[in-house]
Structure 1
Amino acid sequence: MTETSAPEHITDPDEPAGEFDLSDPAFITDPEAGERWLGGPRPVCKGKFADGSDVWVATGYQDVRAVLSEPTFRSRPPGDSHRESMLSRGIPEDIVDMFDSTLLTMDGDDHMRVRRLVTRALSARRMLTLTPAVTAMAHRLLDDLADKPEPDLIADYAHPLAINVICEMLGVDEHYREQWREWSETLAQALRPNPEQFAPAVRGMARVTKELVEARKAEPRDDLISELVQVHEEDSDRLTDDELVALAMVLVQAGHETVRNLIALGVFTLLQHPDQLKLLKDDPSIAGRAVAELVRHTAPVKHTFRRFATEPVEIGGVTVQPGEAVQVVLAAANRDPAEFGCPADLDVTREHNPHLGFGRGAHYCLGASLALIEGEVALTALFERFPEVRLAADPAEIAPRYLLAMQRLPVHLSPETDER
Structure 2
Amino acid sequence: MSKLGTPVKLDIASEEFRMNSKEVREARDAHWYAETDWGIAVLSYEDNTHLLHSPYMGQGSAKWPRQHGVSSGQFHEWWSQNLLVLEGDDHHRIRRLVNPAFSRRKVRAMEPKFEELARELIGSWIHRGEVDFASEFASPYATRILCMMLGIDESDWHHIQELASTIGLGLGVHVGDHIASIDAAVNELTVYAEGLITEREAAPTDDLLGTLLGANREDDRSLSRQELVNIVILLIFAGIDTTRHQLSLSIDSFQKQPDQWDKLARHPYHYAERAVEEALRVNPIGRWVTREATESFQHRERWIEEGTTVHLYTLTGGTDPAEFNNPCDIDLDAERSPHFAFGGGVHHCLGHFVARTDIGVALAALAGRITNVRVGADTDWLPDSGNTGASYMPITFERRNSVE
Q: The TM-score by the shorter chain falls in which range?
A: 0.7 to 0.9
Is the 1:391–1:409 Cα contact (8 Å) retained in structure 2?
no
Does 2:86 align with 1:106? yes
Q: Does 1:393 align with 2:376?
A: yes
- Using a 3 Å threshold, how does the CA distance of structure 1 residues 84 and 236 change in structure 2: closer, same or farther? farther
Aligned residue in 1 for 2:7: 17
Q: 2:307 aligns with which of 295, 308, 323?
A: 323
The structure carrying a bigger strand percent of its residues is 2
Mapped contact 2:255–2:374 kept (Cα < 8 A): yes
CA distance 1:353–1:32, change in 2 (3 Å): closer
Q: TM-score, normalised by structure 1?
A: 0.83
Distance 2:182 2:328 in 1: 35
Say which SS state the counterpart of residue 247 (structure 1) adopts: helix
Counterparts in 2 of 1:110 and 1:76: CA distance versus 1, 3 Å: farther
CA–CA separation in structure 2 for the residues paired with 1:153 and 1:175:
20
**Which string of whole-angstrom CA distances, capped at 9 and with x for unpartnered residues, describes residues 29-78 of structure 1?**
xx4874531453242332223xxxxx12212222222332223211268x
Kept after mapping to 1: 8 A contact 2:295/2:306: yes
- Please list, as runs of the form range in 1=range in 2, the aligned pairs for 1:277-296 lying within 5 A after superposition: 277-284=261-268, 285-296=270-281
CA-CA distance at 1:131 after TM superposition: 1.6
Change in CA separation of 1:86 and 1:17 when aligned onto 2, cut-off 3 Å: closer
Which range is displaced more, 32-41 or 277-286? 32-41
Q: What is the aligned partner in structure 1 of residue 402 from structure 2?
A: none
**Corresponding position: 1:154 with 2:141:** no
For the 8 Å contact 2:101–2:211, the answer to whether it is kept is no
Equivalent-residue separation in structure 2 for 1:354 and 1:98 (angstroms) = 31
Residue 147 of structure 1 deviates from its aligned partner by 5.1
Alignment of 1:16-415 (within 5 A): 16-27=6-17, 31=18, 34-38=21-25, 40-41=27-28, 42-49=31-38, 55-75=39-59, 82=63, 85=66, 88-89=69-70, 93=73, 96-146=76-126, 148=128, 150-190=130-170, 191=172, 192-193=174-175, 194-232=178-216, 237-284=221-268, 285-304=270-289, 306-388=290-372, 390-391=373-374, 393-394=376-377, 397-398=379-380, 401-403=383-385, 404-414=388-398
Q: Which amino acid aligns with 2:12?
A: L
- Residues 126 and 232 of structure 1: CA distance in aligned 2, closer, same or farther (over 3 Å): closer
RMSD (Å), alpha carbons = 2.8
1:251-295 C-alpha deviation (Å, 9 max, x unpaired)? 121112111122111112211222322332333322221221111
Secondary structure of residue in 1 paired with 2:391:
coil
CA distance in 1, matches of 2:19, 2:317: 17
Whole-angstrom distance in 2 between the partners of 1:94 and 1:352: 41
Q: Which AA in structure 2 matches 1:274?
A: P
> In structure 2, what is the Cα distance between the partners aligned to 1:331 and 1:294?
11
Q: Are residues 311 and 35 of structure 1, via their aligned partners in 2, closer, same or farther at CA, if it must alter by over 3 Å?
A: same
Change (3 A) 1:34 1:96: same
Distance, in Å, in 2 between the alignment partners of 1:35 and 1:168 is: 42
Shift of 1:298: 0.9
TM-score normalised by the chain length of structure 2: 0.86
Change (3 A) 1:270 1:199: same
Quick one: distance in 1 between partners of 2:64 and 2:359?
35
Per-residue CA deviations over 1:146-193 (Å, capped at 9, x if unaligned) read 355632222111111111112211223334421121122223333213
1:128: how far off? 2.2
**Structure 1 residues 392 and 347 mapped into 2: Cα distance closer, same or farther (>3 Å)?**
closer
- Over 3 Å counting, the alpha-carbon distance change for 1:314 and 1:83 in structure 2 is closer
Within 1, Cα distance between the matches of 2:120 and 2:98? 29
Distance in 2, Cα, partners of 1:220 & 1:122: 17
Q: Among the aligned pairs, what percent are the same residue?
A: 26
Q: Verify the 8 A CA contact 1:259 1:374 in the aligned structure 2.
A: yes
The aligned amino acid for 1:383 is A
Output the CA distance in 2 between the equivalents of 1:32 and 1:123: 33
Query: SS state of the match for residue 103, structure 1?
Result: coil
CA distance in 1, matches of 2:304, 2:398: 55
Structure 1, unpaired ranges of 5+: 1-11, 50-54, 416-420
Q: Secondary structure at the match of 2:310?
A: strand
Asked if the contact 1:292/1:353 (under 8 Å) is kept, the reply is: no
Paired residue type of 2:151? G
SS of the residue 2:27 aligns to: coil
CA displacement at 1:232 relative to structure 2: 4.5
Aligned residues, how many? Answer: 390
Asked if structure 1 preserves the Cα contact closer than 8 Å seen for 2:254 and 2:260, the reply is yes
Conserved? CA contact 2:102–2:208, under 8 Å: no
User: Does the CA contact (< 8 Å) of 1:261 and 1:300 recur in 2?
Assistant: yes
Any stretches of 5+ residues in structure 2 without a counterpart? 400-404
Gap change, CA 1:96 and 1:13, over 3 Å in 2 = closer
Shift of 1:363: 0.9
Residues 171-220 of structure 1: CA deviation (Å, up to 9, x unaligned): 23334421121122223333213234222222222222222222222333
